[in-house]
Amino acid sequence: MSLDDPRVPNLKDYDATLKEEAAEPTLQVPQGEPTSKCQIIAIYGKGGIGKSFTLANLSHMMAEQGKRVLLIGCDPKSDTTSLLFGGKACPTIIETSTRKKLAGEEVQIGDVCFKRGGVFAMELGGPEVGRGCGGRGIIHGFELLEKLGFHDWDFDYVLLDFLGDVVCGGFGLPIARDMAQKVILVASNDLQSLYVANNVCSAVEYFRKLGGNVGVAGLVINKDDHSGEAQAFAKAVEIPVLASIPADDDLRKKSANYQIVGTAKSQWGDLFSGLAAAVSASQPTHPTALDQDGLLALFDGSDTGEGVVLEPATDADMRGKKSAPKASLEVIYDEA
C-alpha cells in the first residue's frame, strides 16, 4: 500500500483532528447567580459502584413526590437510564446527532429525551472505543443540550451521572465550569471507590482555589456492609453521609432485573424518600482531600499491605541475565 493510496489517512488531516480534540472546549457556561430554583447536582463515583442504581431510584422517588426531575447520563457506557427504562437502550444524544447530521436534519427533543414514572431522562453517550475522546463527547453533548434550550427548561432537579474514575476535562466539567451547584459522591466500604471519591474531593478543592463555587454535599454509601470505612472517610474529609443503602440480596436481585425500588410501594421506599429529602436539603461543603497515607489509614493494615517497604532496584536487577559488565568505550587519558 503506497502513500498515494486513498485508503491511507492524510497525515495533515489526522494532525488537524488531534489538535481539534486537544483544543479548549467552546462550551460557554453562564456566570453569575442562578436565575431559577433548579438544583443541578453532579453525582460522581467509581464505575460499577451503583451510581445508576442510586440515581434511577432517587429520581423516581423525587418525581413521585411531585418534583420535576431531569436525569442526564454522562457516562460513555450509557447505562444511567437502563434501570429506569426496564433495561431498554435509550438513544444517545451523540449517536442521534451524528445520524441526524448525516441526514441533513436537526435533533428534536423527542429524539433524545424520554419519560417514565414522571422522570425525564436522556443519555449523552460517547464515541466508539478507539474513535474519540469520551471527555470531548461529554462537552459536545452539553453543547447540543444548550442548542435544545437547556437553560430555559423548567425543572426542580437536574441530576448528572458522571464517571469518577476518569479525570479528563469533559468529565470534570460540572466542577471546573460551575455547571452544578453541588456534588454528591457514591462509594462503598472499599479502597478503590473511596480513592475515586477522594479524587473528586481533591478536584473540588483545586477548583475552589481557582475561584470555583461547587462544593460536595455529601456521600451515599452503597452496598453498606457496616464495616465503617466509608463513614470514616466522610468524617475525615468532613462531609455528611446522606444515606446508607445496605448490601441486601433483595436490592441486588431487583437491580439486576431492572426493577424500581424508589417508590412508596416498595419496602425500600422510606430509604429513598429519606435520601431525596437529604439531597434536597444538603448544602455544599468544602472537603479537604486525604493524602495516600491518610486514605490507607482508614483500613485495617492487613488489608492494605501494612509493613511493605519500598526496596530500590539496582542496575543489575534490571539487566537480569545480561548483567555481566561490558568493557567501557570511554577513552581515558593518562595524566600528564
- The residues annotated with a catalytic role in the active site are 46, 51, 77, 165
The phi, psi pair for 203, rounded to 5°, reads -65, -45
Contact 278, 243 (CB under 8 A): yes
Tell me which residue of 195, 200, 205 sits closest to 160, measured CA to CA: 200
3-state helix, strand, coil in the chain (%, to 5): 40, 15, 45
Query: Three-state SS for 182?
Result: strand
Cβ contacts of residue 44 below 8 Å, gap of 6+? 51, 162, 163, 164, 183, 184, 185, 186, 196, 197, 200
User: CA-based Rg of the chain, rounded to a whole angstrom?
Assistant: 24
Nearest to 36 by CA among 64, 63, 61, 68: 68
Q: 253: buried, middle or exposed (CB in 10 Å: 19+, 13-18, 0-12)? A: exposed
Q: Quick one: cell of 43?
A: 453525582
Q: Which three cell numbers stand for residue 84?
A: 429506569
Buried b vs exposed e over 218-242: b needs ≥16 C-beta within 10 Å? bbbbbbbeeeebbbebbebbebebb
What letters, b where the CB count within 10 A reaches 16 and e where it falls short, cover 68-81?
bbbbbbbbbebbbb
DSSP β-ladder status, 157-163 and 241-246 = unpaired
Query: Phi and psi dihedrals of 284, rounded to 5?
Result: -65, 135
Q: Is 192 exposed, middle or buried (0-12, 13-18, 19+ CB in 10 A)?
A: middle
